[in-house]
Structure 1
Amino acid sequence: MALAKFMKFPHLPLGAQFEFEGKVYTKVSPLVASAEDGSGQRVIPRYAVLRPIGDSVQPKAAAHAGQLDPDKVRVAFARFEADAMRLLDEACGDDAGRGDALKAELVEAGQRFLEAL
């Protein structure tokens, strides 16, 4: 099957490399591509006409690809939760009742998050 000479951004899979306006990019999200020369990221318009790189439009493996370590996620979430609780205390000030209600909601949301791991 012959590869189309040009494609539009939405038709490329995540990780695909392409050329746009003389630079090579890798698609990193549905709207954003990262320049291969390290110059940063850029929003690519849906209507942009791109030239895929290579014989086929194969996703390039991301440097950070792989399984998440659930223990590391739990530790990171615990840090986040502690910061959020502290910020709630600061934001609510003298309104302890409001702060307690928000903390209870945050704890419930955290439990749902951890159960989803």
Structure 2
Amino acid sequence: MKINLLPIGARFEYDGQIYTKTGPITATAEKGGQRMIPRHAVLRPVDGHTPPPAPAATRQLDEARVLAAFEAYHATALRLTEGLGKAELEQARMRFLAMLEE
């Protein structure tokens, strides 16, 4: 296995020592000290597997807050727009809201 395939925090063996990956090409040895691991080096994951990557944080958005923020933005944009641009801006607003319904 190559270093770029291991997630940060994964443990592996290289040159007879156990390391923990700390960066894209760096690792810390169990006995202390940091080392750069060549990209071409073949590594053996400790215990035969690597830890799964940390789950990405998911953030739920409140629909009412999103719409309120959009309407506040739209009101400011309308106030700053002159002439025929207001009609185009209102059409863009309608398209945006319609896309939310799909």
TM range (shorter): 0.3 to 0.5
Task: Give the structure-2-normalised TM-score.
Answer: 0.48
Task: Give the structure-1-normalised TM-score.
Answer: 0.43
